[in-house]
Amino acid sequence: MRFSNLFSRTLREDQKDADNTSYNFLLRAGYIRQLASGIFSYLHFGQKSMKKIEQIIREEMNNINGDEICMPVVHPAEIWQKTGRWYDIDASLVRFKDRNDRDMVLAMTHEEVVANLVSQEIDSYKNLPKMVYQIFTKFRDEARSRGGLIRVREFTMKDSYTLDTDQEGLQKQYDAHYEAYFTIFKRAGLPCIAILSDTGMMGGQIAHEYMYVTPIGEDTIFICEESEYMANKEVATFRKTFEEQSPLPLEKVHTPEAKTIEDLKTFFGKPAENFVKAVFFKGKVGEEEKLILALVRGDMEVNINKLQKVGRIQNMIPATNEEIGQKNGVAGFASPIGLEKEGTLIIADDFVANSNNLIGGANEKDFHVLNTCCGRDYEPDIVADIVSAFDGALSPNSDNPEHKLKSVRGIEIGNIFQLGTKYTKAFGALFMDRDGVPKPIVMGSYGIGIGRMLACICEEHNDEKGLVLPISVAPYHVHLIGVLDNPEIEEIAETLYANLKQNGIDVIYDNRGKKVATPGVKFADADLIGIPIRVTISKRSLLKGGVELKLRKEKEFNIIPVDEIINEINQKIEFLYNELKD
């Protein structure tokens, strides 16, 4: 590719709307341009890098016996209605009607389509196991796009789906994906960790997320390096220790205007852990709308995800004071004591259930009760872990009191789910087992966002001048610069460009004349674009005995004779690829 043929251009100044480093450099280097919020065009360099990432993924999916297919981006609504996700997913799922007034969907994922295909293509255990995948466009109408390619609405994704006869087979393919993902990210030069995560709208039993740890991440991850524990905030647990106390008699105390835990700490002169906090929500449990009361210790916070999961609650929102009052609760002074049970779901954190003599609300304005005891004074419907982990909490998989959790920020770059039979049952995707008994096919689902992966690579590999991309995903291996002082240099540069291409070296040639771009502009563009190897041919380099060869990540360059440059470049390419294996 010649620079003079490029449609895109570089930008000299930092972009005001870019809220992170990768977005700023991707814009400035001419990789992407925004059309609308969360919707981007990929220009020449961006498209080249995306295709290289896709090829890495394709190779690793093929290595674990993947069969590449391509599925539609527009779906009839009825397939999403079959699984219930038409009703469960919010406005991020784009719904519309076609000209025949049929409900349709823009695909944000393809589990339904795969299950529908499976119901037509597989009917016997002899056809299993299988794995299919695609690399294709999806659309999710994010409420808040951010970070350039990190959170978008239209995106390219690799999604793969495994099909098995039983859980053992699913686990085997799940494990294969687990390792393949680490290989993919390593080949792309992107460090990551795999953490336990929530299954979310996908459903299923087990899920992992692959996280790129970075301060700009929007996910909170809890880790303990000593005990090797890692989990997303949504599912992270911690070891809880309980102090046994004999129950003391209830005692009502006048607490005027003391509504919050902070108020109560001041009033009683006690730490937050001595109180029980009542948090109210409204939500659908089964077919019934209920008032949800979550009970947690005063120094803890309700983990919304855990609460919804243990209570099997849908469409959960904070309850109003009026809704609390309808069940005999008094906002600010509420507790389960005296609360109307009909139409109410009470869920107590196990910290509360195992801690006697906590101070709680009396369900009477300006009054609290000393020495409340779960099981004696009230009976919760569910006792479970419903609180969020926090910095300094004890690691759940270690008895060592020095092994504590710490939080870091991260960006999700991949996910894997054990779906089980949720989707295949909905579509009647059955196979005949060895005994002739029909059984539902067991599915797994696995995703990687290509654009987000590129953004994270750029976030990891840059300096003050621009991108410093790994050779495996850079748009080109070599950036050839010609300082075209005279026809002789131009001829030598053209010959070198042709030789590089003939030897299979991926090269872009900056052939712009001085009137279009000075040598300084060319070097600045090369630094900004971030191609790993720079070769410069100029009058000065020829006087020194050849051409300049410089790695983007290094400051110094070497002069290499023209007749040796191809061999030297191939050695550098091999060296840079080997670095990614270490």
CA distance 158 to 71: 12
Helix (H, G, I), strand (E, B), or coil: what is residue 238? coil
CA torsion 148-153-158-163 (nearest 10°) is: 150
Q: pLDDT tens-digit profile of 167-201?
A: 999 999 999 999 999 999 999 999 999 998 877 66
CA distances from 318 to 279, 292, 377 (A): 8, 9, 25
Helix (H, G, I), strand (E, B), or coil: what is residue 211? strand
From first CA to last CA, the distance across the chain in angstroms is: 31
Per-residue pLDDT, 485:
80
Average pLDDT score over residue span 523-533: 97
Evaluate if residue 127 carries a pLDDT over 90. Answer: yes
User: What is the spatial order of strands in the sheet that 95-97 belongs to?
Assistant: 74-76, 103-106, 95-97
Whether omega before 249 lies within 30 degrees of 0, making that bond cis, reads: no
- Specify the pairing of strand 206-213 against strand 193-196: antiparallel
CB-facing half-sphere around the CA of 490: CA atoms within 13 A = 8
CATH architecture assigned to 18-71+107-212+408-458: 2-Layer Sandwich (3.30)
On whether the CB atoms of residues 64 and 444 are closer than 8 A, the answer is no
State which H helix or E strand residue 40 sits in.
strand 39-42
CATH architecture assigned to 251-384: Alpha-Beta Complex (3.90)
The alpha carbon of 478 is separated from its chain's Cα centroid by a whole number of angstroms, namely 32
Evaluate if residue 202 carries a pLDDT over 70. Answer: no
pTM of the model: 0.89
Q: pLDDT tens-digit profile of 394-450?
A: 999 999 999 999 999 999 999 999 999 999 999 999 999 999 999 999 999 999 999
Amino acid at 195: I
Sign, CA dihedral 179-183-184-189, equals positive
In the chain, where are the structural domains located? 18-71+107-212+408-458, 251-384, 476-581
CA distance 408 to 264: 31
Per-residue pLDDT, 484:
81
Q: pLDDT tens-digit profile of 332-375?
A: 999 999 999 999 999 999 999 999 999 999 999 999 999 999 99
CA distance 48 to 44: 6
Q: pLDDT tens-digit profile of 240-260?
A: 988 888 999 999 999 998 989
Per-residue pLDDT, 203:
63
Mean pLDDT of the chain: 94
One DSSP character per residue, 133-158 reads EEEEEEE---SS-BTTTTB-SEEEEE
Q: Where are the beta strands (DSSP E) in 341-486?
A: 344-349, 358-361, 367-372, 382-384, 406-420, 430-432, 438-440, 442-449, 462-463, 466-467, 478-482
Which CATH fold topology does 476-581 show? Rossmann fold (3.40.50)
